[in-house]
Amino acid sequence: MIKAQLHIHIKGDPVDRIPYNWKTLIDHAHEKNFRVLSFTCHKRIVFPLKAKKYAQNLGILLIKGVEIEIQKEHIIILNPTKQAEHIRTFKDLKKYKNTHPECLIMAPHPFHPSKVSLKKSLEKHIDLFDALEFSFYYTSLKNPNLKTEALAKKQGLPLIGTSDCHILKYFNHTYTTIENTKPLTTKNFLKTIKENKVKIHTTPLSNIEAAKIVLTLLIRKLRKLLPVV
């Protein structure tokens, strides 16, 4: 089985304050036996060529990615071109999808209680999405992924388990696997996902863990806005 983590933020993200760089992330992923990764920073493709080569030397396929915004709602594009950074509307997204069949468009944390989640926009524009995200951020008492899971089943779309990585501690908490594919290339990997030949591995967070994550991210945001904090 090939382990994949497809929603990752690293140092250099234009929006989030991330303490670890690409090398630390790749080393950590290698330690946890991941074979496919995608850096999906906000608004801008962050894909150092040194990182691609470094990952390759460790037997890891590093795929380009970006987390764009449409009306402040987040959308992930895997294997994007630079043009993806300029998508501003769902009309733009539709045009981009039609002219770039090599990409994969995924809805991250679509029904989580946040203004950046797609919610109704996802259901309205469901034909633009190739996959839906099963986010690591849930507990046994509250799981917004259940609605995502139901929609994926209804639409016949693959569910992709991710860590939405901002904190390395939870990198291996929720992830996706596929059967071995040879050769392991971006094209073959994304094709396997679109064919819905994926499996999610996940464990719910405890209520305390969920609270700690929110607090950690809040402190980071304050430090980004107010460096003296």
**CA–CA separation, 87 and 85 (whole Å):** 6
Q: What is the pTM of this model?
A: 0.95
What band does 228 get if pLDDT is binned at 50, 70 and 90? Answer: very low
In this predicted model, what pLDDT tens digit does every residue of 174-218 receive, in sequence order? 999 999 878 999 999 999 999 999 999 999 999 999 999 999 999
Instruction: Tell me what pLDDT residue 224 has.
Output: 67
**CA–CA separation, 217 and 212 (whole Å):** 9
Q: Is a pLDDT exceeding 70 seen at residue 59? A: yes
Burial tier of 82 (Cβ tally within 10 Å: 0-12, 13-18, 19+)? exposed
Spell out the domain ranges in the chain.
Answer: 2-225
Q: Is a pLDDT exceeding 90 seen at residue 163? A: yes
Average the pLDDT over 149-165 and give the result: 98
Q: Is a pLDDT exceeding 80 seen at residue 223? A: no
Q: Is a pLDDT exceeding 80 seen at residue 229? A: no
- CATH architecture for segment(s) 2-225: Alpha-Beta Barrel (3.20)
What band does 226 get if pLDDT is binned at 50, 70 and 90? Answer: low
- Residue 166's nearest CA partner among 94, 110, 105, 220 is 220
Q: Is a pLDDT exceeding 90 seen at residue 222? A: no
In this predicted model, what pLDDT tens digit does every residue of 76-126 receive, in sequence order? 999 999 999 999 999 999 999 999 999 999 999 999 999 999 999 999 999
